[in-house]
Structure 1
Amino acid sequence: GQKANALLQPITRDFHLHRAKYDAEVPDTDDPELLERAKQATSFVNGRGSNPFSGLSQDQLALIIYDDSGTFTANERRAAWLEGRAQETAWKQAVVARGKLEYSQTGKMTEFFKEVLGNYNDLPPIMQAQHPDFYAPRLEHLIEMDFNFMTHRAEGKGAPEDIFEILMSSDDFANLGKRFARSTIN
């Protein structure tokens, strides 16, 4: 997780501090395709043109985003990171919509939690490492509980009071619960 954060910092938090340097960066290659891709990434992160990494899988994007070999320019890494964020945003919107439907029809969020866990399990290890250690075990417990939020009953394993301890014992889950509650109200 710490390594991931260190690799992300130059292309996220510190990006605008070094924009001129990154815009001037050219890959150490004579390959015209790679030079063109770097040029396209620079244009893209500056608000012009398309992302050369659009449509790549999370695994492919992670190889670019977290590359520390110098194979990719900072602008290429940022373009890959932006594509990853766009894909994640689209996935979150879809999974929350399905979660709201599940909740309205059944009072449960079990399938929602299964989908969130499945997404986590499909992430490259460096991306999983950025989640807290309890992330997957908590989701697994929520799935096992099969909690009905309308009847306030655990229909699987666990006691009803477990749900509140689970959801409120961490900032990540408390914020997730608050966001979900707000989205079901709106």
Structure 2
Amino acid sequence: MADNREDIILVVSINSNAFSGSQVSNMKASKNESLKKSQAATENADVGSQKNTSSLSSLSLQLSESAARAAARDSSLSRKELSAKASELLSKISGDRYFANKKTNDAEVPDTQDPGLLARASNATQFVNGSGKNPFAGMSSDQLSLIIYDDSGSFTTNERRAAWSESYDQEYAWRQKVVAHSIAEYNETGKLTNFFAAALEHYKDLPAIEQAQYPNSYEAKLQGWIALDFNYKTNTVEGKGSAQDVMDKVLNLDKETFDNAGADAV
């Protein structure tokens, strides 16, 4: 697993700044939606092979409390502040900062007597060190996000890293699927409209703290490209470069593409 999540945090989950006006309202609505989805999803969470009812009940309670903290955090920060907060939180579970504190991270134990929580934390440490199964395998993206960005101490650093690893894998799988469909779309129609629509839908489903990591213009750009419905094979206005070039720019959040004004930067 690569440690630079920004390489995969797709059209859909990455680093940048702040919305304004109606975009702020849209973001707040998205926050509420994500919270509702997270809370509803926790009721039926099936964390990998952990079938123990008490363990699931403990996790459900943890996630519910994390959702409440996330909602409070998201409502108190601007998009730019939320992006900075995300970077800070991710630095604790990935990259040089994580490995500089590896010994401490591996020795961390939850402040609990609950055997299920203790076992899960131990499993997470084993997993991030290359053995065993990820205790968060198969969890929903909303639930994983709650764990990844929860620095309250409810989850250990290695649990958060394990959740981040699962989120990374799910993101990568989504990327492979959407690119394959987009190549088929381009070969058949010469367009990438469905690709842009899939990227936009994926973005809108993200929790606020992950949306905040995308460029401010991300949603508007995609909406503009969808509305244009250009045929790249006929080399109309936006038809510069190959279909793969366009997809790479969107998936890698190309700075020049998203910093340019208007909807014709591709």
Fold shared, TM-score > 0.5 on shorter chain: yes
SS in 1 for 2:233: coil
SS in 2 for 1:70: coil
Task: Report the counterpart of residue 118 of structure 1 in structure 2.
Answer: 201
SS in 2 for 1:150: helix
String of CA shifts for 1:72-126, please: whole Å, max 9, x gaps.
Answer: 1000000000000000000000000000000000000000110011000001111
Structure 1 Cα separation of the partners of residues 226 and 189 of structure 2 = 14
Structure 1 Cα separation of the partners of residues 230 and 190 of structure 2 = 8
- Which of 223, 234, 248 is matched with 1:140 structurally? 223
Distance 1:134 1:124, change over 3 A: same
String of CA shifts for 1:43-82, please: whole Å, max 9, x gaps.
Answer: 0000000000001111100110000211010000000000
Task: Report the counterpart of residue 38 of structure 1 in structure 2.
Answer: 121
Task: Report the counterpart of residue 132 of structure 2 in structure 1.
Answer: 49
Normalising by the residue count of structure 2, what TM-score does the alignment of the two structures yield?
0.59
String of CA shifts for 1:158-181, please: whole Å, max 9, x gaps.
Answer: xx25x66xx68xx824799xxxxx
Structure 2 Cα separation of the partners of residues 145 and 110 of structure 1 = 8
Structure 1 Cα separation of the partners of residues 254 and 222 of structure 2 = 10
Structure 2 Cα separation of the partners of residues 97 and 174 of structure 1 = 24
String of CA shifts for 1:128-167, please: whole Å, max 9, x gaps.
Answer: 00001011110110100101000123xxxxxx25x66xx6
Equivalent residues in 2 for 1:6-45, closer than 5 Å:
6-13=88-95, 14-45=97-128
- Tell me, yes or no, if structure 1 residue 93 matches structure 2 residue 176: yes
- Tell me, yes or no, if structure 1 residue 4 matches structure 2 residue 86: yes
- Which of 195, 201, 214 is matched with 1:131 structurally? 214
SS in 2 for 1:147: coil
Equivalent residues in 2 for 1:43-82, closer than 5 Å:
43-82=126-165
What RMSD, in angstroms, separates the aligned Cα atoms of the two structures?
1.8
Percent identity, please: 52
Shift in Å at residue 9 of structure 1? 0.3
Task: Report the counterpart of residue 156 of structure 1 in structure 2.
Answer: none
Distance 1:91 1:21, change over 3 A: same
SS in 2 for 1:11: coil
SS in 1 for 2:139: coil
> Mind listing any 5+ residue stretches in structure 2 that lack a counterpart?
1-82, 241-245, 258-266
Structure 1 Cα separation of the partners of residues 211 and 169 of structure 2 = 18
How many residues matched?
A: 165
Shift in Å at residue 12 of structure 1? 0.8
Please tell me the residue identity of whatever aligns with 1:42: T
Please tell me the residue identity of whatever aligns with 1:172: L
- Which of 102, 108, 113 is matched with 2:185 structurally? 102
SS in 2 for 1:61: helix
SS in 1 for 2:134: coil
Distance 1:34 1:175, change over 3 A: farther
Distance 1:125 1:82, change over 3 A: same
Structure 2 Cα separation of the partners of residues 175 and 31 of structure 1 = 50
SS in 1 for 2:161: helix
Please tell me the residue identity of whatever aligns with 2:234: T
Normalising by the residue count of structure 1, what TM-score does the alignment of the two structures yield?
0.84
Equivalent residues in 2 for 1:162-177, closer than 5 Å:
172-173=253-254
